[in-house]
């Protein structure tokens, strides 16, 4: 019996990495009775006679589990954020951050395409980066694209982690990965194509070694699952609100209509980003409205 990590899944085969090599395996353990499917990223116990043939016997406990992409034990997300005026949206960024907070995955924000910005827009993005750092998020931003310090920062963040790369189509995910790992040669635009194909056919999912970490070759971590939480829980996923809310007068304050709310006081004092608060309100309403629609249907 060996212990290894699933690095790729394709059509019922799982390639398990152990002692410096890959073993092609199939699933046979009694976890199948419990309807557990092995996921890329899983640590497993397996048997094998040759590297071409082996059987997974047992799945070890997972720390996290994603559905899209189907990867276990992801603990880092590189949030590739295109910064151009046409593409940039704090709303999307905050939605991604909330989704990651809900999933228990640490975000690293990578500000892409800064070379296309005029100085004024770049300064605005830099100020925003500072504000997000104040919240507690790591933000990587450089005046030019793919500078050595920016790439070194991403590599340092990846070390020892299993990561997904998030970002809307065209944000620059493949381009960033190619700069991190020049041999990778991902066609730009390729990642989302893989994702779209995946909707209809069995999808290959793999973890690729990038710097000293592993990165899922399929992005697509959906930020829409944000809206599966309860509206009154949303505040827990805004770290700056969590810190401030100890000073809200009412327990369970959702920082909307309550008097003596520390979050609203901080907002008035410019200590909370207005865009974060606006996005919070919008997500809150979306969740409320969605619940109503859902209940009506039932």
Ligand X SMILES: Nc1nc2c(ncn2[C@@H]2O[C@H](COP(=O)(O)OP(=O)(O)OP(=O)(O)O)[C@@H](O)[C@H]2O)c(=O)[nH]1
Q: Would you list which residues are annotated within the binding site for GTP?
A: 112-115, 167-175
- Nearer Cβ to Zn ion (180/261): 261
- Nearer Cβ to ligand X (91/188): 188
**Least distance (Å) between residue 233 CB and ligand X:** 30
- Under the criterion CB under 6 A, does residue 83 sit at the interface with ligand X? no
- Under the criterion CB under 6 A, does residue 112 sit at the interface with ligand X? yes
- Under the criterion CB under 5 A, does residue 263 sit at the interface with Zn ion? yes
- Nearer Cβ to ligand X (18/211): 211
Angle at 175 between CA 171 and CA 180, to 5 degrees: 125
Binding positions: 112-115, 167-175, 248, 253, 255, 261
Choose, by CB under 5 A, the member of 113, 255, 266, 277 that binds Zn ion. 255
8, 61, 63, 68: which is closest to 36 by C-alpha?
61
Q: What is the pattern of x (binds ligand X, CB under 6 A) and - over residues 180-219?
A: --------xxxxx---------------------------
- Nearer Cβ to Zn ion (12/259): 259
Find which of ligand X, Zn ion, none residue 115 binds, CB within 5 to 8 Å per kind.
Answer: ligand X
Q: For residues 54 and 25, is the Cβ–Cβ distance under 8 A?
A: yes
- Nearer Cβ to ligand X (41/172): 172
Find which of ligand X, Zn ion, none residue 261 binds, CB within 5 to 8 Å per kind.
Answer: Zn ion
Pairwise CA distance, residues 57 & 17, whole Å: 15
Q: For residues 102 and 226, is the Cβ–Cβ distance under 8 A?
A: yes
87, 173, 167, 98: which is closest to 137 by C-alpha?
98
**Least distance (Å) between residue 252 CB and Zn ion:** 9
Residues lying near Zn ion in the complex (CB under 5 A) are found at 248, 253, 255, 261, 263
């Amino acid at each position: 019996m060996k212990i290894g990590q699933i690095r790729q899944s394709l059509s019922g085969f799982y390639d398990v990495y152990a002692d410096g090599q890959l073993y092609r395996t199939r699933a046979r353990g009694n976890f199948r009775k419990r309807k557990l499917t092995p996921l890329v990223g899983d640590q497993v116990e397996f048997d094998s006679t040759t590297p071409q043939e082996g059987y997974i016997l047992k799945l070890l406990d997972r720390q996290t589990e994603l559905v899209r992409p189907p990867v276990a034990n992801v603990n880092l997300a590189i949030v590739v954020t295109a910064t151009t005026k046409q593409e940039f949206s704090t709303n999307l960024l905050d939605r991604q951050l909330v989704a990651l907070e809900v999933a228990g995955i640490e975000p690293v924000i990578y500000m892409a395409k800064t070379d296309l910005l005029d100085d004024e827009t770049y300064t605005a993005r830099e100020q925003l980066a500072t504000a997000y750092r104040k919240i507690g998020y790591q933000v990587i931003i450089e005046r030019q694209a793919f500078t050595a310090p920016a790439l070194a920062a991403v590599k340092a963040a990846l070390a020892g982690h299993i990561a997904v790369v998030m970002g809307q189509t065209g944000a620059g995910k493949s381009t960033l990965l190619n700069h991190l790992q020049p041999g990778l040669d991902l066609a730009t635009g390729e990642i989302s194509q893989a994702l779209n194909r995946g909707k209809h056919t069995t999808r290959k999912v793999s973890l690729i070694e990038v710097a000293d970490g592993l990165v899922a070759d399929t992005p697509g971590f959906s930020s829409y699952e944000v809206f599966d939480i309860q509206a009154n829980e949303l505040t827990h996923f805004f770290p700056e609100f969590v810190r401030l809310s100890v000073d809200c007068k009412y327990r369970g304050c959702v920082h909307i209509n309550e008097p003596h709310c520390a979050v609203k006081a901080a907002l008035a004092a410019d200590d909370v980003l207005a865009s974060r608060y606006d996005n919070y309100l919008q997500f809150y309403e979306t969740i409320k409205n969605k619940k109503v629609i859902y209940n009506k249907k039932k």
